Amino acid sequence: MSNYHIKDTEEYYQVYRKSITNPEGFWEEIAEEHFLWQKRWDKVLEGDFNDNEFKWFKGGKLNITENCIDRHLKTRGNKTAILFEPNSPEEEAQHITYNELSKRVNKLANVLKSKGVKKGDRVCVYLPMIPELAITLLACARIGAIHSVIFAGFSSNAVAKRINDSQSKVVITSDGAYRGAKTIDLKGIVDTALKECNSVESVLVVKRINSDITLKEGRDEWIQPLIDKASTECEPEIMDAEDPLFILYTSGSTGTPKGMVHTTGGYMVYTGYSFKNVFQYKENDIYWCTADIGWITGHSYIVYGPLVNGATTVMFEGVPSYPDYGRFWEIIEKHKITHFYTAPTAIRTLAKQETEFTTKYNLSSLKILGTVGEPINEEAWHWYNDVVGSKRCPIVDTYWQTETGGFLITPIPYVIPTKPTYATLPFIGIQPVLMDDNGKEIKENFVNGNLCIKFPWPAMSRTIWNDHDRYRKTFFSTYKGMYFTGDSALRDEVKYYRITGRIDDVIIVSGHNLGTAPIEDAINEHPAVAESAIVGFPHEIKGSALYGFITLKDKGACRNQEHLQKEINQLISDHVGPIAKLDKMQFTEGLPKTRSGKIVRRILRKIACNDTEELGDTSTLLNPKIVKEIMDNVVK
């Protein structure tokens, strides 16, 4: 029998050892005993970090929705699979059972088929956090279509880029989204995006806010009448373990986002196994992850990981501040939530409010708390632990990435003791190493190093859509034979890891992964701008915020800087999305550059962070005088 559910520390070390000394044997047992396959695999793992082509469970056949839905129907048919809490507390929550989920997924799968969607076709999903979002993912998976979810906060430009890159055939969106007291015109954003796209044949629209939208003849249709007519039966498409399940775009060091491709078998096994252990999920628990399904956290730990385990997973449409800052805690009391998993930015925001907002609710149902997406600072950790968890709920600080598909480094409650600000130990099967800048492994502890992973794990993404070469270069060229995360980390005396931040051009703002390149491209579109450079600086709530150093073509001609700042932020909103707006902007005479003309961001980062004591030797710059000019005019 395999150790599907690790219950104590000794067992963790024993299972961990097994998973790294015999990874194939280990994952084979887990896959065989706890998942449903239509055909057994021929080989557990093929490929390594030197050739960068990986296959897990090669030759295995399955459909992930049979694992997420069908196999639960006998024993859990009437159990709530998805518990939907709407934006407005006035609107009733929906409890969608596994039986009902099965019917709704099959119906939507049949609708997609009727629109000509076949195995391997891409379906773009641009929806708010409503049940149809999760159902669409599963409906795609049912028929072997590849879903590409775009977070519903991205702009039309960002949507167009992603649709074009994936060549999506169908878009599923809604007539709008509720977001606290506001509404967002999602359909309008799709309409603008589609002016730039020619792969899309149909747009299916979910009615959510009853807004007055126009349907383009021959392309757009309301989805509900089609669903009403569709059959509740849909045979699952039998997929190869290595067939793509989805594409999810994430930032990279160029203006083009990386379409990370996740495949079926290994992703299912890893997300299922890691969900079960990291949340120590028990049959009647009510699990709530506040992420949006537009991000990897939602894919792996709202939809697939929980449903594969027959869990009840909560989907919340709204925001933590609406109608007031007590909303999260009210929901926990109302649904007797046992597991609460959120981002440090949300914790910091809520910790700033009157304690009353939190303490007036009964949070005694909580058993386990979690964080994800960015480093959590000590103060926020203690507030979460003391006020929300009453010091009795372990906090799992889960470190991972869109690219990794599932947790890399994380505590396991009651098994791996937590330590504030530390993600602690590697999850089963993960072999972390710290490397120095010269490509040597750092063996000692208490040193900061570049975090790499030494051996493949089943949920890692297999490629970048349409660009395998970029995949190789981005993740495997810095350190030969290793996956480079792009993060730095510190290892303490008991080998616990603490993530200390990104070392590339990605900045984590409020837990959102933002590349500097697309933001700079947007700013440079402004006719008054010559060039720009974006860096991160510490922010009390967001963790990091964006500081833009912008050189104008003719600074003297700019009469109204405030107006220009607004225009620049609007451009960023239009091109990337409102989450990427700059908190600080400085108009400079120039940017520090090397003699070969490369912007020296390291210097700008230090200036933005008010850390100018050790700027290093600036005399070799192309324009050394510019550093002082920038420092003198820094925005406080």
Residue 499 contacts ligand PRX per CB under 6 A: yes
Q: How far apart are CA 337 and CA 44, in angstroms?
A: 37
Rg (CA), the chain: 24
Q: Which of 173, 280, 297, 516 binds ligand PRX (CB under 6 A)?
A: 297
Near ligand PRX by CB under 6 A, which window of 195-203, 380-388, 397-405, 456-464?
Answer: 397-405
Residue 373 contacts ligand PRX per CB under 6 A: yes
b/e per residue, 353-382, with b = 16+ CB within 10 A? Answer: eeeebbeebebeebbbbbbbbbbbbeebbe
Residue pair 375/539 in contact (Cβ under 8 Å)? The answer is no
C-beta of 516: minimal distance to ligand PRX in Å? 14
> Mask 163-192, x = binds ligand PRX (CB under 6 A)?
------------------------------
Near ligand PRX by CB under 6 A, which window of 204-212, 292-300, 348-356, 596-604?
Answer: 292-300
464 CB contacts (<8 Å, ≥6 apart)? 258, 259, 260, 261, 470, 471, 474
C-beta of 486: minimal distance to ligand PRX in Å? 6
C-beta of 63: minimal distance to ligand PRX in Å? 26
DSSP 184-214: E-HHHHHHHHHTT--S--EEEEE-SS-----
Q: Which one, of 78, 54, 64, 53, lies nearest residue 31 by Cα?
A: 64
The sheet with strand 258-263 has its strands ordered as 220-222, 202-206, 170-174, 122-126, 146-149, 244-250, 258-263, 463-464
Q: How far apart are CA 91 and CA 183, in angstroms?
A: 16
C-beta of 399: minimal distance to ligand PRX in Å? 4
Residue 372 contacts ligand PRX per CB under 6 A: yes
Residue 487 contacts ligand PRX per CB under 6 A: yes
Q: Which of 3, 87, 250, 271 binds ligand PRX (CB under 6 A)?
A: 250
C-beta of 297: minimal distance to ligand PRX in Å? 5
Q: How far apart are CA 417 and CA 330, in angstroms?
A: 29
- 601-608 vs 625-632: helix axis angle to the nearest 10? 20
Residue 153 contacts ligand PRX per CB under 6 A: no
Instruction: Provide the sign of the torsion angle of the four alpha carbons 463, 469, 470, 473, taken in this order.
Output: positive
Q: Which is nearer to ligand PRX, 96 or 396 (CB)?
A: 396
> Mask 512-551, x = binds ligand PRX (CB under 6 A)?
-x--------------------------------------
- Hey, what are 483's tokens? 């996956």
C-beta of 502: minimal distance to ligand PRX in Å? 5
Which amino acid is residue 234, in one-letter code? C
Residue 374 contacts ligand PRX per CB under 6 A: yes
Q: How far apart are the first and last CA of the chain?
A: 60
Instruction: Provide the sign of the torsion angle of the four alpha carbons 535, 539, 544, 546, taken in this order.
Output: negative
Q: Which of residues 406-425 bind ligand PRX (CB under 6 A)?
A: 423
Assign 397 to helix, strand or coil: strand
Residue 400 contacts ligand PRX per CB under 6 A: yes
Q: Which is nearer to ligand PRX, 179 or 502 (CB)?
A: 502
Near ligand PRX by CB under 6 A, which window of 19-27, 110-118, 225-233, 399-407?
Answer: 399-407
C-beta of 620: minimal distance to ligand PRX in Å? 31
C-beta of 233: minimal distance to ligand PRX in Å? 36
C-beta of 525: minimal distance to ligand PRX in Å? 25
Near ligand PRX by CB under 6 A, which window of 28-36, 89-97, 295-303, 381-389?
Answer: 295-303
Residue 456 contacts ligand PRX per CB under 6 A: no
Q: Which is nearer to ligand PRX, 133 or 423 (CB)?
A: 423
- Residues found near ligand PRX in the complex (CB under 6 A): 250, 295-297, 372-375, 397-402, 423, 485-487, 499, 502, 508, 513
